[in-house]
């Protein structure tokens, strides 16, 4: 049976914070503020995988109220999620995602993000899609105050 799940995450941007997306540190004046490393892309992907497998959500598995996850590398969340869904008998077939950010431009970093994610999920890089878009200066994201990501995962069991 083929199953799909969606994920979404949004974080505030601030000076003196790192901008980490797909496990890649992006040079930027502003970074994502979060309990962990604030990697909105990985958080959205984790939620999409958990949604497709009906195994909960990122907040249940990696609660921001748990000090264990303070400043954690979000790639660990992805690794543990992949292990959990595989133990439940699921195979991840494809991830499609989009990062919504006004600046900086991300095209130079997309392939490294795809590679990082495909290495953890253990699928071919062609099964990982990451796009980037802006909000044309509208809203919090357009004003450089926030970043968001959406993802959809396709699994089968």
Rounded to whole angstroms, the Cα distance separating 83 from 8 reads 21
Residue 29: its pLDDT value, please? 94
**Residue 61 burial (10 A CB sphere; 0-12, 13-18, 19+):** middle
- State the total domains in the chain: 1
**CATH code for position 13:** 3.30.1330.50
**Other beta carbons less than 10 A from residue 94's beta carbon:** 15
Which residue range(s) make up the domain with 23? 2-156
Residue 65: its pLDDT value, please? 84
Rounded to whole angstroms, the Cα distance separating 45 from 77 reads 10
Residue 51: its pLDDT value, please? 98
CB 21 within 8 A of CB 41: yes
Residue 32: its pLDDT value, please? 96
Q: What is the pTM of this model?
A: 0.97
Helix (H, G, I), strand (E, B) or coil at 143: coil
pLDDT, block means (10 residues), the chain with 157 residues = 97 95 97 94 98 95 85 94 97 98 97 98 98 97 97 96
Q: Are strands 19-21 and 146-156 parallel, antiparallel or unpaired?
A: unpaired
Residue 16: its pLDDT value, please? 87
Rounded to whole angstroms, the Cα distance separating 36 from 75 reads 10
Residue 18: its pLDDT value, please? 95
Residue 45: its pLDDT value, please? 98
**Other beta carbons less than 10 A from residue 127's beta carbon:** 16
Return the structure tokens found at 3: 């199953």
Closest CA to 151 of 109, 95, 76: 95
């Amino acid at each position: 049976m083929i199953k799909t799940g969606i994920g979404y995450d949004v974080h505030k941007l601030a000076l003196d914070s790192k901008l980490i997306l797909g496990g890649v540190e992006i040079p930027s004046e502003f970074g994502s503020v979060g309990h962990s490393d604030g990697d909105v892309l990985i958080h959205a992907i984790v939620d999409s995988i958990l949604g497709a497998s009906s195994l909960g959500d990122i907040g249940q598995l990696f609660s921001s109220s748990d000090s264990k996850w303070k400043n954690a590398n979000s790639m660990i969340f992805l690794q543990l999620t992949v292990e959990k869904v595989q133990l439940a008998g699921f195979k991840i077939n494809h991830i499609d995602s989009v990062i919504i950010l006004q600046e900086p431009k991300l095209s130079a970093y997309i392939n490294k993000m795809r590679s990082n994610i495909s290495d953890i999920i253990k699928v071919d890089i062609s099964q990982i899609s990451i796009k980037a878009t802006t909000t044309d200066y509208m809203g919090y994201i357009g004003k450089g105050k926030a970043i968001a990501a959406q993802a959809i995962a396709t699994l089968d069991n």
